[in-house]
Amino acid sequence: MTSTNTASPAAQHDPCTPPPFLIALTGPTSSGKTTIATALADILSPFVDFTMIHADDFYRPDGEIPLNKDGVQDWDCAGSLDMPKFRQTLLQAKDGVGLPEGNFEDGAHGSKGIITTPTIEQAKQEIEAWPQRLLKKMNRRPIVLVDGFLLIGESVRETLAPLFDLKILLRATFTAARARRARRNGYITLQGFWKDPPGYFEHVVWPNYVREHAWLFEDGDVEGEGEGNDNLVKPKELDDGGGGRDYKGNRHDVRVGPVGEDISPEETLGWVLGVVRCALEGAEGGLVQGGGERGA
């Protein structure tokens, strides 16, 4: 099964058009990444040239997935993805040139309809009420949203993470993520089908997530809560300020989402839209010009 990009390939970037604004939407398995990404596509597409890329489109063929120490395929590590191809695609996106079609999609469970149509329509109405100057700026610069489990992790901090203009980390507790993943029937792969073997979440999926993202949090506690800070943790290596929801871990600005068993997809969507709006409003020239390098 293939996924679909919403933008048409272009031969080269128009120098009169601002370069696309790249958003990383990442988090552990079953944290709602694809649900939120799909909703954002529905909500933002009427207002901006919007493209969505799934990191799952860059999985290696089944026979090339690394084995862990127990001889089990590890689909949740950096080695399971074609990182050179992924990075090159993001560089192309930053330059506003054509994007290749994807070739992998988790088709065993859907994300359409989890956030209801009335919620989507209400969000569109709220965006219509945004200041006209902001809407005009959005209309001038495309947005590329990248949804994936490993966009700002330790192993890609120097290769992928600097390419993004806005980085959003969704969260889920160990208990919630395990329960949601257990409800999935499996995953359609390039060459077949994958179903988690017993203990895979506990021994592979979650430890990989913690290992990759512990650098963001004090004491490496990815489920921790920050005192007096909307239940958001304070990352290590705090740069300057970092109040509210905008934290700076090392040199990568990361907006870290709330965590809790009772946080609904609608609440998460509202928070993400707020983060996106703040990024668009607070950026010089209308949209943040950060995100590090461009070009191949």
Residue 7 tokens, joined:
């933008």
Choose the catalytic residue: 49, 56, 106, 196. 56
Compute the C-alpha angle 54/282/158, nearest 5°: 45
Cβ atoms of 274 and 36 closer than 8 Å: no
The C-alpha atoms of residue 281 and residue 287 are separated, in whole angstroms, by: 7
The reply to whether 56 belongs to the active site is: yes
3-state DSSP percent of the chain in helix, strand and coil, to 5: 40, 15, 50
Q: Is 195 exposed, middle or buried (0-12, 13-18, 19+ CB in 10 A)?
A: exposed
The C-alpha atoms of residue 291 and residue 254 are separated, in whole angstroms, by: 12
125 dihedral zone (left: phi>0; alpha: psi -120 to 50; beta): alpha
Element (H, E) at 193: strand 193-194
Q: In what order do the strands lie in the sheet with 143-148?
A: 50-54, 143-148, 21-26, 166-169, 252-256, 246-249
Cβ atoms of 61 and 191 closer than 8 Å: yes
Catalytic residues: 56
